[in-house]
Amino acid sequence: MMRFADPWFFLLLGFIIPILFFSSSSGGRIRFSSLVILKQVTKGPGIHPRMILTFLRVVALILFIMSIARPQKGRVFSEVSSEGIDIVLALDTSGSMEALDFKMDGKRVNRLTIVKKVVTQFVKKRPADRLGLVVFGEEAYTQCPLTLDHGIVVDFLTKLEIGMAGMATAIGSAIGVSVNRIKELKAKSKIIILLTDGENTAGRILPTKAAEIAKTYGIKIYTIGVGTSGQAPFLEDTIFGRRLNYRRVILDEKTLTNVATITGGKYYRANDEDELARIYDEIDKLETREVKVKQYTQYNELFHWFLIPALMILLLEILLANTRLRKIP
C-alpha cells in the first residue's frame, strides 16, 4: 500500500505550465546585416533542441514535488490478544492402540497413527492457547509441559510410539498427572482432553476419583473413546510370518462418561478418522475464547526514489546547457 503523506505539495505542479511557457518563448538573438541569407536556409525540425532542456527541467521539478510530498509504502500488521485456555492433551499409547481398525489412504493403520494426525490438526487451530502433552500406558507422565510454542508440541506428537509408557492403561493416573500440570496455572479456562481405547487396568487412582479432584480445581475433562468394540485386528508374528489376527478389546465407555460428567465435560465416541476429526472440531468450537485483533500500518519513507532521479536529471540539464545545447548570447 502506497500513499503520499503531504499531498498538498502537488499544488506546486500548477507552476510548471508557466515555467514551460516562459522557458520555450525565450531564446538568444544574433544580429545580421541582412536577413536574405537566413531566409534561404532550410527550416529545421519543429522542436528546438533547447526544448530538451525545458523538458528535463520540468521532469526534475515534478520529481522534486513528488519527493517533498513524502511518498510512503505501508505494511499492515495485525496484533492478536486473547485470554488463552490451558489445554492438556492426554493420549493413550498402550498396546491396544496398535489395533489396525483405522484406514488412511485406503490402507490399514494403527489407532495411534490416526490420533497423531488429528490431534496435530487440532493443535494448529489453537494459536492463542497453552498446550501440553501427557502420555499414558501402564504409567503416565508429561511428555511436553504447557507452552505457546506449538511447534514443540507437534514435534513431540510425531515422536509418540506405542508402548512408550507401558502396555497397560492407567486412565486415573493420566488424569492425575494432567491435573497436577495445570491446577496452579492462571487461565480463563482449564481443560483436559483425554483419549483412550481401553479400560483402566493400571495405576493407583481410580478415574472417577481423579475426576473429582479435577472438579475441585475447576478443570473440565473431555473424554474420547476410539476404535471398534469387541474384536479388533492386530498384526502378530506367527510361525507363518506376520499375520492379521483378531483380539478382543474392551472400551469402558461408562467410566469415560462418568469422568466427563463429573467435571462438566462430555464423552465422545470415534470409530474412524472422520468421526475423530469432527470430535476435535466440536471441542474446538465449544472451548472458544475472545480474541481481539488490532490492525496497524507501518510506513517506510520512499522520497529518495524520486529525489535521486530528480537530482540526476537536473545535473544532466546543467551539463547539456553548458555543452552541446549551450545558449549563444
pLDDT for position 235: 85
Superfamily of domain 84-289: von Willebrand factor, type A domain (3.40.50.410)
How far, in Å, CA of 325 to CA of 51, rounded? Answer: 10
Total-model pTM: 0.65
- Cell numbers describing residue 223: 473424554
- Cell numbers describing residue 30: 544574433
How far, in Å, CA of 264 to CA of 278, rounded? Answer: 20
For helices 150-158 and 111-124, angle between their N-to-C axes, nearest 10 degrees? 170
pLDDT per residue rounded down to tens, the chain (329 residues): 678 888 888 888 877 666 665 655 554 555 555 555 545 555 555 566 767 877 888 888 888 888 888 888 877 665 555 567 899 999 999 999 999 999 888 899 999 999 999 999 999 998 888 899 999 999 999 999 999 899 999 999 999 999 999 999 999 999 999 999 999 888 778 999 999 999 999 999 999 999 999 999 999 999 999 998 888 988 887 777 778 888 888 999 999 999 999 999 999 999 999 999 999 999 998 877 655 556 667 778 888 888 898 899 889 888 888 887 776 65
The pLDDT tens digits of the residues spanning 237-246 come to 777 777 888 8
Check residue 98 and report its DSSP letter: G
pLDDT for position 294: 62
User: Given CA atoms 317, 318, 321, 327 in this order, what sign does their dihedral have?
Assistant: positive
The pLDDT tens digits of the residues spanning 144-185 come to 999 989 999 999 999 999 999 999 999 999 999 999 999 988
Checking phi first, is residue 81 left (phi over 0); if not, alpha (psi -120 to 50) or beta?
beta
The domain ranges of the chain are 2-76+297-321, 84-289
How far, in Å, CA of 43 to CA of 36, rounded? Answer: 14
How far, in Å, CA of 187 to CA of 284, rounded? Answer: 17
How far, in Å, CA of 272 to CA of 286, rounded? Answer: 21
